[in-house]
């Protein structure tokens, strides 16, 4: 399929909280896109943020930035949804599900009144569940509904390993897979630093050492939320990178939350975090990571956790009138 290169390079952000405002600043600061519209239930906040961002433009690249309404969604190339209730200290992302599903359903109802035909980028949590719900409620092809998935978790892994062996994070190659949440796991068998396996640098890694790294990666959000109330900069940077890849049709391999149709990992009808090739039309191909037996079981377990949440929470809300 020939990629349709976005002409407008227009992004609509829905949700102007901690993550949304950091994402908006990342787009403006990095010159990603030509147009950014910001939507939130708090119109005064979006008006203030839009004006504040405009005042940064003389130092950066030109961009149209404004407080938007849902009527502005029709010709957007990317709609990024960060709106939702905040994760409370000690609360898991999955405990957010019922509240944020109802918020999402309302948002999508407004967007689908327009002619929007671009890419949905979901960042609100629990992101794998909300990505699935977006695909189902909009009827969009799954390749055009993506979640931020384990992009941030993978960045946290690479930074953690980089600090452990004193190299820069860009030299660490590896992925966190599965749920963006408590059942995520590290594909240790595939981690490389440069072209060498991780244990060439660290020496043997026993289960205790691996668990310590996983805990630091998996629990980072809880640590940050307890101290400053919300995560923002890391996920905003991940979203900005994803957006740039779409708008520029880069066909880059990124860790995302994408739909499983039975062709990869033996999983079906669920969104999970995995590397995928991303371009202007959305997901081009899932880059399945070869897993050992233990890792495959972890992937199946993570998908099972998400599937149960879908059965327990999504289906009842989906059936609501």
Q: Where are the domains of the chain?
A: 10-147, 151-316
Query: What are the pLDDT tens digits along the chain (321 aa)?
Result: 455 666 789 999 999 999 999 999 999 999 999 999 999 999 999 999 999 999 999 999 999 999 999 999 999 999 999 999 877 777 776 677 888 999 999 999 999 999 999 999 999 999 999 999 999 999 999 999 999 999 999 999 999 999 999 999 999 999 999 999 999 999 999 999 998 999 899 888 899 999 999 999 999 998 999 999 889 999 999 999 999 999 999 999 999 999 999 999 999 999 999 999 999 999 999 999 999 999 999 999 999 999 999 998 888 888 886
- Helix (H), strand (E) at residue 5: none
Binding-site residues, in ranges, read: 15-20, 40, 45, 70, 87, 93, 100, 106, 123-128, 148, 153-156, 158, 173, 231
d(CA 12, CA 56): 19
CATH entry, 10-147, from 3.20.20.140, 3.30.1490.20, 3.40.50.720, 3.30.930.10: 3.40.50.720
Binding-site residues for substrate, in ranges, read: 87, 93, 125-128, 153-156, 231
pLDDT, residue 3, reads 54
d(CA 38, CA 13): 5
What is the third-level CATH fold of 151-316?
A: L-2-Hydroxyisocaproate Dehydrogenase; Chain A, domain 2 (3.90.110)
Binding-site residues for beta-D-fructose 1,6-bisphosphate, in ranges, read: 158, 173
CA quadruple 157, 159, 161, 167: dihedral positive or negative? positive
Tell me the whole-structure pTM to 2 decimals.
0.95
Just list the catalytic residues.
Answer: 180
């Amino acid at each position: 399929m020939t990629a349709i290169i976005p002409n407008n390079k227009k992004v609509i952000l829905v949700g102007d909280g901690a993550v949304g405002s950091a994402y908006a600043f990342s787009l403006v600061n990095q010159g990603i896109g030509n147009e950014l519209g910001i939507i939130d239930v708090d119109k005064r906040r979006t008006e203030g943020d839009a004006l504040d961002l405009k005042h940064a433009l003389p130092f950066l690249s030109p961009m149209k930035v404004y407080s938007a309404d849902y009527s502005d969604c029709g010709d957007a190339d990317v709609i990024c949804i960060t709106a939702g209730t905040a994760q409370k200290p000690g609360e898991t992302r999955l405990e957010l599900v019922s509240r944020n599903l109802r918020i999402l359903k309302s948002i999508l109802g407004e967007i689908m009144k327009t002619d929007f035909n671009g890419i949905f980028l979901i960042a609100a949590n629990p992101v794998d569940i909300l990505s699935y719900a977006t695909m189902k409620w909009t009827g969009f092809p799954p390749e055009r509904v993506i979640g931020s998935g384990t992009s941030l978790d993978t960045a946290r892994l690479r930074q953690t390993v980089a600090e452990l062996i004193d190299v820069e994070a860009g030299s660490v190659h590896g992925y966190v897979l599965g749920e963006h949440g408590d059942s995520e796991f590290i594909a240790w068998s595939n981690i490389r630093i440069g072209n060498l396996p991780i244990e060439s640098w660290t020496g043997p890694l026993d289960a205790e050492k691996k668990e310590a790294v996983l805990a630091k990666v998996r629990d980072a959000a809880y640590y940050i939320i307890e101290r400053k109330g919300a995560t923002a900069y890391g996920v905003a940077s991940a979203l900005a990178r994803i957006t740039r890849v779409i708008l520029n049709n880069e066909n880059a391999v990124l860790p995302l939350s994408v739909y499983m149709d039975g062709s990869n990992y033996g999983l079906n009808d669920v969104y999970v975090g995995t590397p995928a090739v991303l371009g202007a039309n959305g997901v081009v191909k899932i880059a399945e990571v070869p897993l050992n037996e233990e890792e495959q079981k972890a992937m199946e377990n993570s998908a099972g956790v998400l599937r149960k949440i879908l059965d327990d929470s999504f289906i009842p809300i989906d059936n609501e009138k």
